[in-house]
Structure 1
Amino acid sequence: MADSEGSAADTAPEFVHLHTHSHYSLLSCPVRIKALVAAAARDGQRALALTDSGNLFGAIEFYRECQAAKIKPILGMTAFYAGTSSLEKTDAANQTFQLTLLAENEVGWENLKRLSTHGYVHGFYYRPRIDRAVLAAHAEGLIVLSGGVAGPIERRILANDMDGARQLAREFAELLGEGRFFLEVLHTGYEPQERASAGLLQIHADTGIPLVASNDVHYLAVDDWIAQDIMLCIRESKVISDPNRFRMGSRELFLKSRAQMAEQFAAHPEALANTVAIAERCNVEIEFHVYHLPVFDTGSEQTPEEAIRSRVEEGAMFRYGGINQVIQDRIDYELGVILKLGFASYFLITADFIEYARSQGIPVGPGRGSAAGSIVAYCLRITDLDPLQYNLIFERFLNADRISMPDIDVDFCGERRDEVIEYCRAKYRSENVSQIITFGTMASRGVLRDVGRVLEVPLGEVDAIAKKVPQGPGASLKAALEADKELQQIRAQSPTNQRLFDLGQKLEGLARHSSIHAAGVVISDRPVAHYVPLAKSGEDIVTQWQMTELEEIGLLKVDFLG
């Protein structure tokens, strides 16, 4: 079986999936990015796009996974497109459609980030939306596909308005420029989608606008439609038996192989070939570990590099009453590393907002973590632990041979922590400071309860089962089942229990919702939106990327712990 599959993959035409989703299309898709990339690589696909719904949450993770798998990453997004204006609410005259956007180059990548930011910050109405004017302003460097059954052209086809659909296709082609707009054809067995695809083929024949094949991937394997269906029920707070609940129109939205796509598009091989042509055009390089720290204003003609040395020496006199050779050697060594890595401003910024907090009577903790190993931090009064007295090691905090941003955790009085953040907004400009996104995931016990509710397992029964599952860091349903014979017996008691555990394992660990990181704040030398797409959590602006990813792209992350 494996040999025949391998043979089919070897002889199948080249094909690239340009429209795929991950679990960052929140509660719509049970796909981990690592698994998505690995599956495409196993099929011999040389490139892959990620086009999550309205966001770029997974872009950095996806880029890194593609690099590791040695396939080309294509950065994209399924955009929610308002028919008239993204600044007005959605209604019958201003419906929301979908378009598939792909970054062709670095300019397109910057525009993709701006479009996603607009959707959340300015165009949000249940969904982050863009519109024609916004797309036109940020169209350079983008390749746009018509979006599938929810696309604006497809919707006109389904409304039996072929003239309107044809005209709209021409308008998109003109807006984007030659070779940058494609009619996205899918064959998923969903009757409206098949009608829309037939209409697109006619528009292609009439206008010459090129076709491209896709499959709007929402799960990996053919049977995973069940896990996605459960996830949709969780999102909508529905039970599986509800005849009126939302469900997908097709059970074929899996990551089809090159051979499967070739079979489905045998009549239109050019649609397959265009996926490869688009992939070859899409070339985006993301820079990592190029730092974008604000330059600290020393208030004098001193540079930050000069200022940190003089302030550390003043602080050493305060801390030790004098500077002997041991102290001087340690200071010189640490400053050598700090200056070599370009982190003088980082230390001065941190010392400055701590000094502000103390000046306002806001209690500040003595320091925690590896930063306590730094005499520079001690002399700048960032920490209150003497690393010489306690023989603490600086290299655990910062190492010249390991390029990474230093990580200083600072504890403030919880009730007044926000005052320190507001001070940073005022000092470094509000648009240069942002809170950071984080994602709540489906944990072991919680996912059993979620799946149990959808499957209509009595609450008492599923709760009793869930309480037998360990929780906390490292806990998982798989590990619990392997270690606990009683859980194995419970799973084997009924088909319902088997489904409960099996579906729970498929969904465990996937993103359930976004929120604001409890402590993390990013401070940048330019508006944060220049480097990172932004989103909203309630009324608060947050980065679309998580803390570790912000550090990777060189932004200063500070933990304001309460």
Structure 2
Amino acid sequence: MFLNVHSQYSLRYGTIDIKELIVEARAKNVHQMVLTDINNSTGCMEFIRLCRKAAFDQEDADGKLIPAYDIKPIIGIEFRRDNQLLYIGIAKNKEGMKELNDFLTHHNLNQLPLPDQPFRFNNAFVLYPYGSKIDLRENEYLGIRANELNKIAGKPLLNIKEKLVVFHPVTVKNKLEHRLHKYLRAIGLSTVFGKLTESDFCQEDEMLISEDELVQKFENHEFILANTQQLLDSCCMGDYTFGRKNKHNFKNSPKEDLALLTELAMKGLAYRYGTNNVDALARVNMELKVIYELNFCAYFLITWDVVRYAMEEKGYYHVGRGSGANSIVAYCLKITDVDPIALDLYFERFLNHKRSSPPDFDIDFSWDERPDIQNYIFKKYPNTALLGTMSSFKDRAIIREIGKVLGLPKSEIDSFTDPSKGHLHRNNPTFNKILAITEKMKNMPNQRSIHAGGILIGEEPLTYYTALDLPPKGLPTVQWDMYEAEAIGLDKYDILSQRGIGHIREAVQLVLKNKDISIDIHDFKTFKTDPKLNAQLRAGTPIGCFYIESPAMRQLLKKLECDNYNTLVAASSIIRPGVASSGMMKMYIESYHNPKGVRYLSEVMKEQLGETFGIMVYQEDVIKICCHYAGLDLADADILRRGMSGKYRAKDTEFDKLSKRFFTTAKSLGRDEGITKEVWRQVSSFAGFSFSKAHSASFAVESYQSLYLKTYHPMEFMVAVLNNYGGFYQRWVYVHALQQTGAKVNLPCVNCSYAVVNIKGDEVYLGLIGIQGLENKLIEIIPQERQTNGNYIDLEDLIKRTYLSLEQSLILIRIGALRFTGKSKKELLWEVHNYLGNKTKIIAGKELFHLPTKEYVLPNLDNHLIEDAYQELELLGYPITLSMFDLLKTDYRGDVLAKDLEQYEGKIVKMLGNFVCDKTVHTIKNTKMWFGTFIDSEGNFFDTTHFPNSSPIYPFRGKGCYLILGKVVLDFGVPSIEVIKFAKLPIMDNPVLITDSKPLKQKFT
């Protein structure tokens, strides 16, 4: 009888979770209801699945049996325009739901408002609120509320009698939640709570009541009850099944797919391993068998096709990473560049018969090439959409939202969200009220968004399962997240992007253009044994290189004296917070430097973890130990690993069985019980934050590729880093690194610069895109016009050809972009005011005769390098003419330089450093401490530690040079400064400040 039920997926409207909805239905003896969330079908499949699950006996949290309960799930959509109810669509069956989803999708994708009347549906009913429509189609009904029955009393119903059905919307669980609903509405409408009107929120009786109670409300109108029951009986969702829903075949059948996959794998096998590698062949055949049996051939082939398109048709570079790198078939298909045999990677970590959730490939492309890859997939494969995500309300965000709804001032809201001030508000009734609301709203769905890179390719139209949204990216997106996709049976393809790939791609192009040298960037086998690359690793100087340039990673590389690929792979894993905070990172470094001192728990541990000195560094190590020490097969070992991880940790019968079997099988193999307990402790404590070795290995490959370019073609590489933005540090750090390569870095110039940084020989010009305040259209027009009609002759020529305004002219003059004229900035400023000062618009078109502007005799105008540096700071964010050290009022540069720090271990030193970055961390006592990174006057990096007792007294104050007093400490031979005192140094005053155009003539006369 409940034809209009809202869940929390009616965002900022409904308050009931779908699980709670089913519990409430059981409690109220409700056996059928229609889930109709507002303008979405997010919860429909979840609703069907959970209702079916409730039809079987289950155990509660305490292991007690919950009797089965039969609920007939029916699904639909409530359609609203401008927050006003238009009509409700109710699906008769799977085809009907597709019709409703297609209708909503059509309007979403074409950004059309919903019409007053929907399409003609063949397999769906339409329900209008009573009084809104008279002329009804065969499948259309009028819903009447119990409190509206007086409107039909004593009236001839004529042709609408058979069209009237029970309308009892369900939105909240109880009266308390109705209050919560009103807060949600205020948030959704961006209004103050007190300004809500009755039309903004649902009626107070919109709660789930018992079927008997609802029937009683309509007992004098049995024909309405009969109409309603007839409608419900006409609906059945039995044609919905859950299982593999991905595109089934790449070609015409599974066997054809297997034949093609085998052919490609064998061709790749010869390329990767030669023609006589028996072990590799056996591994390929084993994987192909599992892939075919699990119906994953099409998944592999579609991924291969995407990579093939990128490499062969477009020349794009990619990185295949994640657990997919455990597959030798993926390696042979060039999906990944990680050799699973060389690294002892288990295929079972990626795919096995016992894996309950589907795996996926993570394929990274350059940030500016990914859109083309996405378009290729959408054009080639029908039934494709981006994967969505669902963001939820979080603690501080809720406090802010409710604070706004209550009309509180920003300062008060800020104090409520500050954890350190929580104790000050304990007796504040407003604060306690907000906390009570926060507790109710916490983790409720808030808004739909887009997954970072997930793409779904279905065998049948995805609108059988969801309507599609059109977010800002402009591609159809499903209305649920990866967990729902997994439950339905859709495996995602992760097509991701990162700036690091852009660095590599553009550097290779620049080297070819600037030096006429072609680079095979996939020649990783050569790179990893190159002594020059490994020397850079060991020195910890990989600025600009993906993943290994951060302060923490640079320090770790130096502590490990890392000079090989395998150690870099390990470093990529042990740097992760969980491993580092557990003490395992320190233990690994100690063992690395003293391998003879390592004590292994057993011979098996030594055999399996010898490479990592008995320490579990990777997820694969957990699998190894469960398999080789405890005797579990690889598939069960992976299930055990997943069951221990934070992502999957939960009550699981299969996990419980396997954890018991770990001990029983270990005992049957003769393992010592005490050692087994310790092995289990290590396995279970590490598995929760372990990292995939395949993932680390993929990152390490990319790091080596960056290192190769930085080592042999440093100028081109740093230009590529600048042009692709991204990276760990601010832009000036990479400009500084470019200068250190010997490149002559020039300020932007209208006759030499392009939108981005360009290089010719060792001459580099910064790009126009880096000038703050310069309009985007000019960034494009200036180089385009120059390339079409030649260099600019002077300021007047530039203005006439690009239609520069006075404001934009001032920016270009002040940054020095017109220095080619031979005139000083101040002369040019006078000239531009003379030319544009009284003009509002430049007249378009070429002149028939050129009339020179009047020349003036100017007084002597002083120019200051310091003034130039100030203007560069303002317009670029960093100076080029002078360094930050040159701008200091003092000539002092510190007593010690970064390169000599090791000699001063344990001593108090005074240093000068240009601030690069800082990182805040929390101690065990929940106090803050900081780590800082600086560059000394010679351009070398050094690091500082700021303990809680000194940090508040000597805080970081942003960009600039600092005087640092501290003690030199060595950690595994790597120096840092434990700060005692710390102060930012003043820079010289700007001799002349030109901030606006009005007083210019007065200043110059």
The 3 A distance-change label for structure 1 pair 244 and 72 is closer
Alignment of 1:211-230 (within 5 A): 211-230=164-183
Aligned partners of 1:499, 1:558: CA distance in 2, in Å?
44
The residue number in structure 1 matching 2:848 is none
Matched, 1:135 2:112: no
Partner of 1:362: 316
Aligned with residue 391 of structure 1, among 322, 344, 354 = 344
Q: Matched residue of 2:106: which SS?
A: helix
Answer yes or no: is the 8 Å Cα contact 2:248–2:298 preserved in 1: yes
- Aligned identity (percent) is 29
Give the equivalent residue in structure 2 for 1:183: 142
Q: Are 2:218 and 1:265 equivalent residues in the alignment?
A: yes
CA gap of 1:53–1:387, structure 2 versus 1, over 3 A, is: same
C-alpha displacement of 1:233: 0.8
Structure 2 counterpart of 1:19: 4
For structure 1, which segment, 104-113 or 273-282, has the greater mean C-alpha deviation from structure 2 after superposition?
A: 273-282
Return the offset for 1:227.
0.6
Task: Tell me the equivalent position of 1:154.
Answer: 131
CA distance in 1, matches of 2:425, 2:167: 38
Matches within 5 A, 1:78-227: 78-80=78-80, 98-122=86-110, 124-125=112-113, 129-130=114-115, 132=117, 134-136=118-120, 138=121, 140-146=122-128, 151=129, 153-155=130-132, 168=134, 171-172=135-136, 174-176=137-139, 181-187=140-146, 194=147, 196-200=148-152, 205-207=157-159, 208-227=161-180
Structure 2 CA distance for aligned equivalents of residues 203 and 397 of structure 1 = 68
**Contact 1:21 1:29 survives alignment (8 Å):** yes
Q: Within 5 Å, give how 1:233-272 maps onto structure 2.
A: 233-242=186-195, 247-248=200-201, 250-269=203-222, 271-272=224-225
Gaps of at least 5 residues in structure 1 are 1-15, 82-89, 156-164, 188-193, 470-485
Q: TM-score, normalised by structure 1?
A: 0.77
Structure 1's 344 and 322: CA in aligned 2 closer, same or farther, altered over 3 A?
same
8 Å contact kept, 2:246–2:456: no
1:557 aligns with 2:492: yes
Of 239, 242, 253 in structure 2, the residue corresponding to residue 288 of structure 1 is 242
Separation in 2 of the partners of 1:131 and 1:555?
34
Instruction: Supply the distance in 2 between the matched residues of 1:249 and 1:387 (Cα, whole angstroms).
Output: 58
- For 2:470, what is the secondary structure of its paired residue? strand
SS at the partner of 2:476? strand
Q: Tell me by how many angstroms 1:50 deviates.
A: 0.6
Mapping of residues 462-473 of structure 1, within 5 Å: 462-468=413-419
The 10-residue stretch of structure 1 (262-271 or 113-122) with the greater mean CA deviation from structure 2:
262-271
CA distance in 2, matches of 1:422, 1:294: 21
TM, length-normalised to structure 2:
0.44
CA contact (8 A) 1:105 1:283 kept: yes
Match of 2:389 in 1: 438
Question: In the aligned structure 2, how far is the partner of 1:393 from the partner of 1:523?
Answer: 27
User: Shift of residue 456 of structure 1?
Assistant: 2.8
Report the Cα offset of residue 175 of structure 1. 3.0
Structure-1 separation of matches of 2:425 and 2:208: 29
- Matches of 1:123 and 1:205, distance apart in 2: 39
The one of the two structures with greater contact order (alpha-carbon pairs below 8 A, sep at least 6) is 1
Answer yes or no: is the 8 Å Cα contact 2:45–2:488 preserved in 1.
no
- Residue 554 of structure 1: CA displacement? 4.0
Number of equivalenced pairs: 477
Which of 30, 34, 57 is the aligned partner of 2:42?
57
Structure 2 counterpart of 1:43, from 4, 20, 28: 28
Query: 1:557 Cα deviation (Å)?
Result: 2.1
- The residue that corresponds to 1:478 in the other structure is none
Tell me, yes or no, if the aligned pair for 2:79 and 2:87 is still in contact at 8 Å.
yes
Letter in 2 for 1:115: F
Contact 1:19/1:51 (CA < 8 Å) preserved in 2?
yes
Alpha-carbon distance in 2 for matches of 1:102, 1:108:
8
State how far apart, in whole Å, the 1-side matches of 2:491 and 2:154 are.
Answer: 52
Secondary structure at 1:423's aligned position in 2?
A: helix
Deviation at 1:23, TM superposition (A): 2.3
- Find the aligned partners of 1:244 and 1:292 in 2 and give their Cα distance: 46
Change in 2 beyond 3 A, CA 1:401/1:130: farther
Q: 1:377 to 1:51 in 2, by over 3 A?
A: same
Q: Residues 222-253 of structure 1: CA distance to partner in whole angstroms, max 9, x if unpaired?
A: 22111111111111111122366963262222
Contact residue 95 and residue 464 of structure 2 kept, 8 A: no
Find the aligned partners of 2:156 and 2:105 in 1 and give their Cα distance.
Answer: 32
Contact 1:442–1:508 (Cα < 8 Å) also in 2: yes
Superposed displacement of residue 339, structure 1: 0.8
Look up the equivalent residue of 2:319 and give its one-letter code.
Answer: G
- 8 Å Cα contact 2:246/2:458 also seen in 1: yes
Q: CA deviation at 1:51?
A: 0.5
- Residue 449 of structure 1 deviates from its aligned partner by 0.8
2:666 is matched with none
Kindly provide the amino acid, as one letter, of the partner of residue 206 in structure 1. Answer: L
**2:98–2:463: 8 Å Cα contact kept in structure 1?**
no
Alignment check: 8 A CA contact 1:154 1:200 kept: no
Aligned position for 2:399: 448
Shift of 1:308: 0.7
**Greater Cα offset, 442-451 or 540-549:** 540-549
Give the Cα–Cα distance (whole angstroms) in 2 for the partners of residues 364 and 23 of structure 1.
40
Counterpart of 1:76 in structure 2: which amino acid?
G
Cα distance between partner residues in 1 of 2:188 and 2:230:
37
How far apart, CA to CA, are the structure 2 residues paired with 1:422 and 1:107? Answer: 28
Instruction: Give the residue type in structure 2 aligned to 1:52.
Output: D
Partner in structure 1 of residue 18 of structure 2: 33
SS in 1 for 2:401: helix
Counterpart pick for 1:508 among 429, 439, 442? 442
Whether contact under 8 Å (2:186, 2:193) holds in the other structure is yes
Cα distance, 1:493–1:68 mapped onto 2, change above 3 Å: farther
Change in 2 beyond 3 A, CA 1:242/1:47: same
In structure 1, which of residues 506, 517, 523 is the aligned counterpart of residue 457 of structure 2? 523
Shift of 1:336: 1.0
Residue of structure 2 in register with 1:347 after alignment: 300
Name the larger-Rg structure: 2
Partner in structure 2 of residue 459 of structure 1: 410
The AA in structure 2 aligned to 1:466 is: T
**Alpha-carbon separation, structure 1, partners of 2:235 and 2:47:** 15
Q: Distance in 2 between matches of 1:68 and 1:457?
A: 45
Q: Do structure 1's residue 493 and structure 2's residue 424 form an aligned pair?
A: no
Flag as ranges the 4+ runs of structure 1 deviating above 6 A: none
Q: Which moved more, 1:393-402 or 1:414-423?
A: 393-402
Residues 293 and 556 of structure 1 are in contact (CA less than 8 Å); yes or no, is this contact kept in structure 2?
Answer: no
Q: Distance in 2 between matches of 1:506 and 1:383?
A: 46
Query: 2:35 and 2:279 mapped to 1: Cα distance?
Result: 54
Q: 1:224 to 1:376 in 2, by over 3 A?
A: same
CA RMSD of aligned residues (A): 3.1
SS of corresponding position for 1:19: strand
Give the Cα–Cα distance (whole angstroms) in 2 for the partners of residues 521 and 220 of structure 1.
Answer: 36
